[in-house]
Chain A
Amino acid sequence: MSRPAGRRAAAATLRATIAQAAPTLRAASARLWQRPGLPGRYRGYLCAMHAVVRASVPVMEFAAGRCAELVDDPVGGPLQAYLRHHIEEERGHDDWLAADLAELGAGADPAGLLAQPPPAAAALVGPQYYWIAHVHPVAVLGYIAVLEANAPAVRLVDRLTSAGIPERAVRTVREHAVLDTGHTEQVFSLLDELPLTEEQLRLVSISGLQTAQALVGLYLHVLRRNPPA
Chain B
Amino acid sequence: MNRHRYSLADLEANGIPTHALTAEQLEVLRDLTDDEFTLLVDIRSRLEAVGPDVQAHSDIAGAALF
Interface residues of A (CB under 8 A from B): 8, 12-13, 16-17, 19-34, 45, 49, 52-53, 56, 93, 97, 146-148, 150-153, 155-156, 159, 172-173, 176-177, 180, 202, 205-206, 209-210, 212-213, 215-216
Q: Say yes or no: A172-B39 contact (C-beta < 8 A), given A23-B47, A33-B60.
A: no
Q: CB distance A215 to B61 under 8 Å? A: no
Is the beta-carbon distance between A28 and B66 smaller than 8 angstroms? no
- Closest residue of A by beta carbon distance from B59: A153
**Interface code B35-59, partner A: CB below 8 Å = 1, 0 otherwise?**
1100110111011001110111111
Q: How far is the CA of A22 from the CA of B44 in the complex (A)?
A: 9
CB distance from A10 to the nearest CB of B (A): 11
Interface size on B, residues (CB 8 A): 34
The answer for the CA separation of A52 and B64 in the assembled complex, in Å, is 13
Residue interface mask B1-39, A partner, CB < 8 A = 1? 000000000000000100001001101110011011001
A64 CA to B58 CA, complexed, in Å = 34
Q: Which of B32, B39, B54, B60 makes the CB contact (< 8 A) with A213?
A: B39
Decide if B57 touches A216 in the complex (CB within 8 Å). Answer: no
Partner of B29, one of A17, A31, A155: A17
For the complex, would chain B's binding face be called helix, strand, loop or mixed by DSSP majority?
Answer: helix
Q: How far is the CB of B64 from chain A (nearest CB, A)?
A: 4
Count of A-B residue pairs with CB < 8 Å: 140
Residues of chain A with a CB closer than 8 A to B40's CB:
17, 20-21, 209
Q: How long is the Cα–Cα vector from A19 to B42 in the complex, in angstroms? A: 14
Q: DSSP majority for the A interface?
A: helix
- Which 7 residue pairs spanning A and B have beta carbons closest together? A150-B63, A30-B57, A26-B58, A153-B62, A30-B58, A209-B39, A16-B28
Minimal Cβ-Cβ distance residue in B for A94: B66
Choice from B32, B33, B61 contacting A30 with Cβ under 8 Å: B61
Chain B residues proximal to chain A, CB less than 8 Å: 16, 21, 24-25, 27-29, 32-33, 35-36, 39-40, 42-44, 46-47, 50-52, 54-66
Nearest CB on A from B22, distance (A): 8
Give bound CA distance, A210 to B28, whole Å. Answer: 17
Nearest CB in chain A to that of B16: its residue: A20
A-B contact pairs, 5 of them (CB 8 A): A16-B25, A16-B29, A31-B51, A151-B62, A153-B62
Chain A residue contacts of B24, Cβ below 8 A: 8, 12, 16
- Contact between chains at B29 and A29 (CB < 8 Å): no
